A and B are shown apart, each in its own frame.
Chain A
Amino acid sequence: MLQPKPKSNVLEKRAEIIAGLKAVLPERAVIGDDVSLKPYETDGLTAYKQMPLAVVLPEDEAQVVAVMKFCHLHGIRIIPRGAGTSLSGGALPLADAVVIGMMRMNKILDINYADRYAVVQPGVTNIAITQAVQDEEFFYAPDPSSQLACMIGGNVSMNSGGAHCLKYGVTANNLLGLRLVTIEGEVLEIGGKQMDAAGYDWLGLITGSEGQLGVLTEVTVRILHSPEGARAMLAGFASNEVAGACVDAIISSGIIPVALEFMDKPAIHACEDFAHAGYPLDAEALLIIEVEGSETEQTEMLARIRDICAAYNPVSMRVSQTAEESAAIWKGRKGAFGAVGRISPDYLCMDGTIPTSQLPNVLKRMQAMSDEYGLKVANIFHAGDGNLHPLIMFDANDVESFHKAEAFGADILKLCVEVGGCLTGEHGVGIEKRDLMSVQFTPAELDQQRRIKTAFDPDWLLNPSKVFPLSGLSAAA
């Protein structure tokens, strides 16, 4: 992976820079020794590693401002980091960059049930928001599978999704306001606690901007009352094509389940071994469908869905009867990446989105590619919104196998774009897909985005080498 050339004047002054950071921050907030820096050398995309110049762990917004001003003054690059679970290398350091880790800003500042919002610091984990409001039977809707670890600041920066986005939307649809510290150390208040904001939709622009525009120091999210109940059902089919057609039929029937997840055979087996959820091992493809409401509503809606599924000759259909059974079904799904990791310790997780009508076609072509590359692929994804997660299995000890896996992944994403979809549905571009951006965007479209980045960060100090192809970086910086 090509990285921008480290600034030699920054590398040379490392000791001075660390001392300078210690002068503006409490001693405990600055990490400069190689042993303590080690955990920050990579993120969820572990194939890439790079030790940073230093790490700072600010405890409040004023300290973030101090770091930004210091780095801006000295032309030092900054990598914002939440929990480091990014699957696209969004938090991968650069040799001449300071990583600004947000994990110590982990307080919940305000919860308001009447107006249905919570104000939290960026280092609060996704699950912690729901945990803080669940006694009142409220929840924060977007639920990435990494929710135990990933932080809301990371979620906002990646515009993360989750299994329940079909009904509740992604992160962008569940935000009201933000505080963002610019590279110059200015604090911007974006949005608020109300629904709409006048003027440009800065909230929308900053969400999903992958740390390119500033460092988030506060997030105001919408919270919702939990449904009366939820129940999942499983439907196994004889082929990917048939299951794909069934997804289409469910969506077009007017029923919008709260979740509609798809697994192909390799994924079914891996997850069943791990979660013992009772997934049908004889099926080629499995749908997990969840509905919400009262007992009667659940029964009625599941009956409608069963009728639809029945037309596609399912090899098995099972409605969960107890809360434990539903939990096991979701344990398998949410632990899917880990489960695949047990069969093949090394895999690349892709994240393209396609129009749902293209599901059967794309799955067929992906299988052909898998045969061609000689690499196995397991498919686990959010079928209701066409967001694919092919997991390409390879052997990290074999360099050629890794390169093949990357090429296979790139081919899948190009296919997604070709059929009317996009490179990434929820994991972000990061470092992984930056060189594919020109598959989806024209040079003029990329330049327009780069100019927006430049408007916020004129010297390109914020998380450089991510999102945009490197050629443009040298042009702009």
Chain B
Amino acid sequence: MMTPDTEEALAAAIRDASGPLLVQGNGTKLSMLRPVQAAAMLSTANLSGITLYAPNELVMSAKAGTRLSEIEKTLAEAGQQMICEPPHIHGENQTIGGIVASNLSGPRRVTGGAIRDHVLGVRAVNGSGEILKFGGRVLKNVTGLDVAKLLTGSFGTLAVMTEVTFKVLPVSEATGTIVLRGLDAEQGVAALSAGLGSPFFVTGAAYLPAERKAFLRIEDFATSVKYRTEKLAGQLSEFGAAEILGTEDSIALWRDIRDCKFLEASEAVWRLSVVPSAGPAILRALAPLGVTGFLDWGGGLVNLTGPADQATHDAVCQAASVAGGTWWLMQAPEPLRAVVDVVPPEPVALAAIRARVQASFDPRGILNPGRLRAA
């Protein structure tokens, strides 16, 4: 395991590598997607620390190995937060580099955008060991190709990020949650959809089938939250009487939703992104197979757990495909992950371009080969 403590040393390690490298931060996401066959490991764990924080500009930069928990603590001290609420499903050791490399976003993604919407710049080392910087620290930047976005969500297969810069958000003065009870999934998603299609700026919209409850979150100044939760609850009266949660209860609830606390313990975990109205049918179609889960992002994020076998996996992929959506195999025993499509296969024309783009960053094919697709 190589844990260089400077960007230069990391670049040298890549230049000197004689074969494939397993690229990781603290390795919290190694049970996600495909296993990588590599003799050597390269970790960003020792590239750590916040390098810039300008609260008045809503901008932070941190070296890739900085723990998310440290970032969130620093932000909280200044009354700010990560916009997309990255889930803590991989524990407290996950690094900011890992969050960006996996483009993992939480509940606020539904209106606030994903981590890919908030990354302003990256420093990274490509497969030839070149140190490159794309984007910057300003909120608007269209100079050249948006390579920072391309690297976001690329799971270390194009370049190893060494530092990321992202936009942050002030924490709202208050948070309120509308809870609607006794709804089936279709009714639940209809309620979420009505809320998201209202003028009240809903920043969280989840449905829990096990509890038959739909949740809608509003964050703002206290008087606004009070006004908007009441007004929206009134507009949603066809879905039954609403309970309204205050700030503390809301924060605890949405933290649990963010961290997928409502998923039953099971061997395999999937994440599906589909149009919101497709969520309920997917839950229903998969229930007979012992696959359970809940809906976030207004119904469009389907978090699922179930048995880790090929037939179940195929059924999950099928359900996502039928809905025109996409999937990630978030967790499963290695033998299964090694043989299935952990993300949707690509059409031929796109696969050819992808291979060329990949080679343009990593001509020797040494960075996380096979992490997303069989090499």
Interface residues of chain A, those whose CB is within 8 Å of chain B, are 112-117, 137-138, 158-159, 161, 165, 169-170, 172-173, 182, 184, 186-189, 192-202, 204-205, 207-209, 212, 225-228, 248-249, 251-252, 254, 256, 293-294, 296-297, 300-301, 353-357, 382, 385-387, 420-429, 433, 437, 440-442, 444-446, 448-449, 451-456, 467
B25 nearest CB across to chain A (Å): 19
Task: Give a binary string over B94-126; 1 marks a CB under 8 Å from any A CB, 0 the rest.
Answer: 000000000101000110011011000000001
Q: Which of B264-285 contact A (CB under 8 A)?
A: 273-277
CB of B51 closer than 8 Å to a CB of A = no
Distance from A140 Cβ to chain B, minimum over Cβ atoms (Å): 14
Give the bracket for the number of chain B residues in contact with chain A.
35 or more
Please state if B56 and A252 are interface contacts (CB–CB under 8 Å).
Answer: yes
With A195-B114, A256-B170, A355-B57 known as contacts, the answer to whether A467 contacts B138 (CB < 8 A) is: no
Chain A nearest Cβ from B240, distance in angstroms: 19
B143 engages A429 (CB within 8 Å): yes
Partner among B56, B110, B126, B224 whose Cβ is within 8 Å of the Cβ of A356: B56
Taking a contact as CB atoms under 8 Å apart, the answer to whether B199 and A225 are in contact is yes
Check B140–A452 contact: CB distance below 8 A: no
Name B103's contact: one of A115, A196, A451, A467 (CB within 8 Å). Answer: A196
Residues of A within 8 A of B143 (CB): 422-424, 429, 433, 437, 440
The distance in angstroms between the C-alpha atoms of A445 and B132, with both chains bound, is: 6
Closest to A205 in B: B150
Closest to B157 in A: A200
The verdict on B87 contacting chain A, using a C-beta distance below 8 Å, is no
Whether, in the assembled complex, B166 has its beta carbon less than 8 Å from a beta carbon of chain A, the answer is no
Once the chains bind, are A426 and B116 in contact (CB under 8 Å)?
Answer: no
State whether A385 and B138 are in contact (beta carbons under 8 Å apart), knowing that A188-B347, A452-B357 are contacts in the complex: yes
Given A169-B113, A300-B221, A387-B140, the answer on whether A200 and B357 have CB atoms closer than 8 Å is yes
Looking across the interface, which residue of chain B has its beta carbon closest to that of A467?
A: B144
In the complex, which of the residues B105, B275, B324, B359 has the most CB atoms of chain A within 10 Å of its own CB atom? B275
| B55 contacts A252, C-beta separation under 8 Å | yes
| Contact A193–B197 (Cβ < 8 Å) | no
Give residues in B with beta carbon < 8 Å to A: 54-59, 79, 103, 105, 109-110, 113-114, 116-117, 126, 130-134, 136-147, 149-150, 152-154, 158, 169-171, 173, 190, 193, 196-199, 201, 221, 223-224, 227, 231, 273-277, 297, 300-301, 324-328, 343-344, 346-347, 349-350, 353-354, 356-357, 359-361, 372
CB of B130 within 8 A of CB of A114, answer no
Q: Judge whether B114 and A114 touch: CB under 8 Å.
A: no
Q: Which of B150, B173, B273, B301 contacts A197 (CB 8 A)?
A: B273
Q: Assess whether A204 is in contact with B353, with CB atoms less than 8 Å apart.
A: no
Minimum Cβ distance to chain A for residue B65 (Å): 22
* 18 sample A-B contacts, Cβ–Cβ < 8 Å, listed by A number: A116-B193, A159-B146, A184-B349, A186-B349, A194-B273, A195-B110, A195-B273, A197-B326, A208-B146, A249-B56, A254-B170, A296-B227, A353-B139, A356-B57, A420-B136, A423-B143, A440-B144, A449-B147
- CA–CA, A433 to B142, complex, Å? 12
| Contact partners of A193 in chain B: CB under 8 A | 275, 324
